[in-house]
Amino acid sequence: QTKQVGVIMGKIISIANQKGGVGKTTTSVNLSASLAKLGYRVLLVDIDPQGNATSGVGINKADAAKCVYNVLIDEVSAKEVLFPTEIDNLDVIPATIQLAGAEIELVPIISREIRLKKALEELKSEYDYIIIDCPPSLGILTINALTASDSVLIPVQCEYYALEGLSQLLNTIRLVQKHLNTSLMIEGVLLTMLDARTNLGIQVIEEVKKYFQDKVYQSIIPRNVRLGEAPSHGKPITVYDPKSRGAEVYLELAREVVNSDKKVG
Ligand code: ADP
Ligand code: MG
């Protein structure tokens, strides 16, 4: 497929929500792979010590002698820790468990909140999209991601209390906008893991749309067995099962993300 023109270059999007298990990593991996499939040059940056996005695109964490930890703490250049993946147009900056120490190690460090932003500057022109998979917390790693980003995409799981905790996230976004990154925008809100067999899903969709209005993507990610299986094979859904419903919807989401850039840009 050919790339469409007229898009903002090197747009950095954080995938964030301090709740665990809402689909951040699944979205980071599969949105990245879908954008790559559309022909955009994509860099996936894993800043979760779990490293699930790293293994999700087929990188063996044991092979990563250096990771994003070294970028944040030792000021190793981002280029030095970058891995190509087996997917065309998709590179990754991996995270390993070493990163678990960074939350604490960053505390006394000068300009600790802008480390990732500085590191990614030299790469912006080489990619169309840089997607950052955030950890399930609002600590210094997520702050680094929000500070480095043009926008933040918030996955919200279709479950009871879907909106719970989001005011905390929005508050953190406002603080970052005020003190560290005045141009940070909300890219969009993505409903995830919709179980179409229950009424609950419909209620949650209505509730989230009432709150976030036109920020909510048309694409809603269903609960899909293939999406759940793909990580254990180290493959994005675009490769693991490109004909699955999960693959189709993440591709739709990628188109929505691209089209909203065209409207603005
Ligand atoms: P987070 O990064 O927010 O903690 P994950 O993306 O890791 O969340 O998702 C949590 C778990 O749910 C993972 O095991 C993942 O494979 C699974 N999962 C995520 N999205 C879906 C989906 N749409 N359908 C089925 N399983 C999913
Ligand atoms: Mg995750």
101-119: pLDDT as tens digits? 999 999 898 899 999 999 9
Specify burial of residue 199 (Cβ count, 10 A radius: 0-12, 13-18, 19+).
Answer: exposed
Residue 5 is assigned to a structural domain of this protein: no
Q: Name which of 151, 41, 53, 38 is nearest 93 in CA terms.
A: 53
pLDDT score at 264: 61
Residue 120 is assigned to a structural domain of this protein: yes
127-175: pLDDT as tens digits? 999 999 999 999 999 999 999 999 999 999 999 888 889 999 999 999 9
Number of the ligand closest to the Cα of 250? 1
Residue 1 is assigned to a structural domain of this protein: no
Closest ligand 1 atom to residue 29 Cα is 6
Domain total in the chain:
1
| pTM, 2 dp | 0.96
Residue 102 is assigned to a structural domain of this protein: yes
Whose alpha carbon is nearest atom 11 of ligand 1? 21
**Could you tell which of 17, 26, 31, 197 is best to mutate to test the pocket of ligand 1, judged by most ligand atoms within 8 Å of the CB?**
26
Q: Which domain holds residue 33?
A: 11-264
20 CA from centroid of ligand 2 (Å): 7
Residue 195 is assigned to a structural domain of this protein: yes
Whose alpha carbon is nearest atom 18 of ligand 1? 228
Whose alpha carbon is nearest atom 19 of ligand 1? 23
Residue 185 is assigned to a structural domain of this protein: yes
Whose alpha carbon is nearest atom 22 of ligand 1? 223
Residue 168 is assigned to a structural domain of this protein: yes
Number of the ligand closest to the Cα of 48? 2
Q: What is the pLDDT along the chain (265 residues), one digit of tens a residue?
A: 445 555 557 999 999 999 999 999 999 999 999 999 999 999 999 999 999 999 999 999 988 999 999 999 999 999 999 999 999 999 999 999 999 999 999 989 889 999 999 999 999 999 999 999 999 999 999 999 999 999 999 999 999 888 889 999 999 999 999 999 999 999 999 999 999 888 888 899 999 999 999 999 999 999 999 999 999 999 999 999 999 999 999 999 999 999 998 866 5
3-state secondary structure the chain: CCCCCCCCCCEEEEECCCCCCCCHHHHHHHHHHHHHHCCCCEEEEECCCCCHHHHHCCCCHHHCCCCHHHHHHCCCCHHHHCEECCCCCEEEECCCHHHHHHHHHCCCCCCHHHHHHHHHHCCHHHCCEEEEECCCCCCHHHHHHHHHCCEEEEEEECCCCCCCCHHHHHHHHHHHHHHCCCCCEEEEEEEECECCCCHHHHHHHHHHHHHHHHHECCCCCECCHHHHHHHHHCCCHHHHCCCCHHHHHHHHHHHHHHHHHHHHC
We report the CATH number of the domain holding residue 153 as 3.40.50.300
Residue 4 is assigned to a structural domain of this protein: no
ipTM score here? 0.99
Structure token pair of residue 222: 């269903």
Closest ligand 1 atom to residue 225 Cα is 25
223 CA from centroid of ligand 1 (Å): 9
190 CA from centroid of ligand 1 (Å): 13
Ligand 1: residues whose CB is within 6 Å?
20-26, 52, 136, 192-193, 221, 223-224, 227-228, 231
Number of the ligand closest to the Cα of 18? 1
